[in-house]
Each structure stands twice: as C-alpha cells, then as structure tokens.
Amino acid sequence: MPRYLEIAEIIRGEIDAGTWGLGEYLPPESKLAQRFEVAPGTVRQALKELVAEGTLSARRGAKKIVMREPRQTKDVPEFRSFAQWALSEKRKPSGLVIESEWVEASEVDLRKLNLSRGEKVFRVLRLRTIDDQPVMVERTHYPPAVGVQVETLPADATSVTNELKVRFGIEFVAAENSFTTAAAGDVDQRLLKVAEGYPLLCHLRTSRDRFGTPLEWSEDRYRAGVVALSVPTVQGDNLLNWDRVDNLDWMN
C-alpha cells in the first residue's frame, strides 16, 4: 500500500476513535509530515483522500476540519454513479438509451468540456429505472474521446461509468454538482409517466478524471420521492453553496 494511503488510514482511524471530533482542526501539513517522517506532498495526498470521501473539509491552503465520521472507503467508492448508488441500496438499476447522436458542440459544451469550436459531442438521452420503475431521465453530452467509446456500449448498459472504467480505463473520480428543480417537459412526461408540470429534481453535473479532464456533462431529472441529498456542513467551512438558478447551465 502506498505510504500516503497508510497515513490516510491512520488519520481516519484516529478520527473514528475520537482523537479529533467533528468541527475540530487537524494539525497543519508540516506537523503531520514531521510526525510521519514523510515529505509534505505525501501528507497532502493523504489528506486529499480524506477530503474526497467527505471526512475532512476541502478548503485549499487552510488547516483541515473534521466534517464527519469517516466511512469505510474500501466498501464505498469515492465517486458513485446512479447505478452504483442504487446497487449499494440493494435495488436493481437499469438504463436504456432512447436517443443518441453526434452534434456540433454548443457554446455551453465548449465551456463545460474544454472543446474547440467546430468539434462535436456525443449526445445521449437515457431512461433510468430502479426495480423496473422509471425514476430519472438522463441527458448527457460526451467529448469526442469519450463519446466514441460510449457509442460502442450496449443500449441497455446498467452503468456507463463502470463500463467505461472496465472496458477502456476511463475512470470518473470527481464532479461538480448543482441541484435545482424544474417542471416536467414533454420528454420527461412521456418517459417518466408524469403529468404536465410535475416537479422534478434536476441534477446538473460535470464529471472529470483524475487529471481534471472533463469526461461528460449531464442534466439528470428525477421523479419526486426517489432520492434525498445529504451534505455535511461545519461552521467556517460550509460545503453547501447557494446559487441563483439563472447562473446554471442547462441542456437545450
């Protein structure tokens, strides 16, 4: 096991044992480096692991704050897709591609996916179900390097995220997420079997690999009563950010 993962596991265990409680500060990186007799960069990697799982705060350049009791990362991946989450809840997820096509990148695509003008994106409309019940409509745009791989996947692949990792080594490790609400449109009504104007939870997401390269951006619309969100907050380091709806980017 790499040294930084050993350090992360030690710190995780100490938090679990109550050495540092919720809302308390960890020692600075320099002190931790001295304690573990490693370079500061190794400690920084260890702390990034704990930040990624939500155990520590994410503010750069500041001492880390304990946000919550650590979870068992060996059993729960740091980045979980819709299907991975459903499986963890012992539910049966599935998906079906309704439409897919290559289209010229829009202004939002250029910005979200770091593309050049004139490039194309692979646009996919999928219906997601849990236990055979329609729960979410997923509209996703992929950059060319990812889209050519997604295009080869089965239309009923349970988890595109997992298929891309297993088949092509494309791994989703981080995402920027925004949540809001919207009334069901024509496509939503038809696929989710809801009435006009039915309230939907909208999840706007840009996913990246470990190098920060955008892999997709997506707008997912959930039926009410399907998912709930949990966000840890601590005074002085709040991971919950409020924004105006008109500041968000939406699919056309």
pLDDT at 247: 73
CB environment 54-71: b (16+ within 10 A), e (fewer): bbbbbeeeeebbbbeebe
Q: Where are the alpha helices (DSSP H) in the chain?
A: 3-16, 29-36, 40-52, 82-88, 107-113, 144-150, 160-168, 186-192
239 and 119 part of one domain? yes
Each residue's pLDDT tens digit in the chain (252 positions)? 788 988 988 998 888 888 888 888 899 999 999 999 999 999 999 998 888 777 887 666 667 888 766 554 444 344 567 777 777 778 888 899 999 999 999 999 999 999 999 999 999 999 999 998 999 999 999 999 999 999 999 999 988 988 999 999 999 888 888 899 999 999 999 999 999 899 999 999 999 888 888 999 999 999 988 877 766 665 555 556 677 777 777 666
Residues 203 and 86 in one domain: yes
DSSP type of residue 25? B
> Token digits for 12?
């995780």
Q: What whole-number distance in Å separates Cα of residue 15 and Cα of residue 60?
A: 20
What pLDDT was estimated at residue 82? 75
Q: Specify whether 102 is located in the same domain as 222.
A: yes
Q: What is the domain extent for residue 134? A: 82-246
In the prediction, which pLDDT does 186 show? Answer: 95
Q: What are the DSSP calls for 67-130, one per residue?
A: -SPPP-TTTS-SS--HHHHHHHTT--EEEEEEEEEEEE--HHHHHHHTPPTT-EEEEEEEEEEE
Same domain, 7 and 90: no
Give pLDDT, residue 76: 38
Number of domains the chain is built from: 2
Q: 14 CB contacts (<8 Å, ≥6 apart)? A: 20
Q: Compute φ and ψ for 107, nearest 5 degrees.
A: -60, -40
Considering the domain architecture, whether residues 48 and 96 belong to the same structural domain is answered as: no
User: What's residue 91's pLDDT?
Assistant: 81
State whether 157 and 223 are in the same domain: yes
State the residue for tokens 């308390």: 24
Based on the domain organization, do 25 and 107 belong to the same domain?
A: no
Cα gap 187→194, rounded to integer Å? 10
Q: Is residue 141 in a domain?
A: yes
